[in-house]
Amino acid sequence: MHLERFLENTELQKYSNFLMEHEAKALLEKYGIRTAKCIFVREEDELLEALKKTGFPAVLKIASRKIPHKSEVGGVRFVNNEEEALKSFRELMEMEFAEGVNVQKKLEAGLEIFLGISQDENFGPFLALGLGGFFLEALKTYSVRLIPVSRKDVEEMLREIPDVFEYRGKVFDREAVIELALKLSEIVEREKILEMDLNPVFLYEKGYAVVDAKIFFGERKSFERRKKIPILNPRKIAVIGASDKPQKVGYAIIQSLKMSKNVEICPVNPNLKEIEGIKVFRSIDDLPEVDLAIIALPAEKVVESVESLIGKAKEALIISAGFREAEIDEGKERDKKLRELSEKITIIGPNVFGFVNLVDEINASFTP
């Protein structure tokens, strides 16, 4: 059953938002993703017909919308002949919540990897990629990117996980991993998928096969949600305390912003007219309205600057230190005043690095 047909069935929607394995794999196959295909059976004669197609050894798995984690309930059986298959089938069908059994051919083992999809409340869907099996347990390393992902994103992800693609004399197919990750990104953009877990995926010297798949569906927040968080996507940025001296933080921030994409920089310094060809404003009062103001001033000047930014900037990001973290009375008092001002303007900080938005290519930090 494809996902769109499942979504049309209101009775099934009431029962669960989980696709059984054969349904999940049918959806993946629709997008050209290679899987260890399942044959869903409910009767013994159906089982025997399915085994004629898969041959032995085979794998029998309980199918139920209420059991996403089959192995945890003893719902996966490896069988080598009809007698073992019939015995395992009867036992699986007697388990609570069993709706049927999925039959699949036992595949030749490959390098085990996993790919997963999940949701972040603020940033939307993301893709996780890592090594599976022994490597997942031993190394516990994986890489994450927001969806949609590009080829460059996936290549970077592969560099961030341990390189075992040449292992025990075999060279495994990196290109197949990239292809699979890009197709998963496409599926999530087109379908109502909340979570997906492909684990394990067997990677071979040529190609791959998804051995197990779990998919949860439902309404999710728009991909554009993260675009609507102004702090992450400012287009006009003021730098209060901008400098033309390379040793100053105000200079480093300018360099970071110059490397950003589609950003208008509005430096503020009463003693400068321009910085590397960028017009400098003498004061905050001279500024146009901006999305974000980055403050890199001595601590004693920060509160006054934030007060002046009310009505000029939507957010203030304070790089400066010397507040509560300094554990001095003056710092605690400044911190208290900033908290009061936060009722009138959004404040990030103080004493922060800034932020880097890799999706929209904005570096609002002091590390170019």
Q: What mean pLDDT value characterizes the chain?
A: 89
CB 73 within 8 A of CB 62: yes
**Residue 263 burial (C-beta neighbours within 10 Å; 0-12, 13-18, 19+):** buried
What tens digit of pLDDT does each residue of 332-344 get? 999 999 999 999 9
What tens digit of pLDDT does each residue of 42-57 get? 999 999 999 999 999 9
What tens digit of pLDDT does each residue of 3-38 get? 444 444 444 444 458 899 999 999 999 999 999 999
What tens digit of pLDDT does each residue of 172-226 get? 999 999 999 999 999 988 888 999 999 999 999 999 999 999 999 887 665 554 4
Whether the bond between 288 and the residue before it is cis, its omega within 30 degrees of 0, is no
Q: Indicate the range of 134-138, 277-281, 319-323 predicted with least confidence.
A: 134-138
Q: Which two tokens stand for residue 136?
A: 């997942």
- In this prediction, residue 124 carries a pLDDT of 82
- In this prediction, residue 163 carries a pLDDT of 82
Which residue matches tokens 């292992």? 167
CB 26 within 8 A of CB 2: yes
- In this prediction, residue 280 carries a pLDDT of 97
pTM for the whole structure: 0.62
- In this prediction, residue 120 carries a pLDDT of 82
- In this prediction, residue 189 carries a pLDDT of 84
Share of the chain above pLDDT 90, in %: 74
Asked if the model's pLDDT at residue 159 lies above 70, the reply is yes
- In this prediction, residue 135 carries a pLDDT of 66
- In this prediction, residue 229 carries a pLDDT of 59
Q: Indicate the range of 19-28, 236-245, 260-269, 352-361 predicted with least confidence.
A: 352-361
Question: Which domains are assigned to the chain?
Answer: 38-106 (3.30.1490.20), 111-222 (3.30.470.20), 229-365 (3.40.50.720)
- In this prediction, residue 139 carries a pLDDT of 67
- In this prediction, residue 242 carries a pLDDT of 97
Of 366, 155, 365, 358, nearest to 261 by C-alpha is 358
- In this prediction, residue 5 carries a pLDDT of 46
* Mean pLDDT across 275-289: 96
Q: Which two tokens stand for residue 317?
A: 């990001």
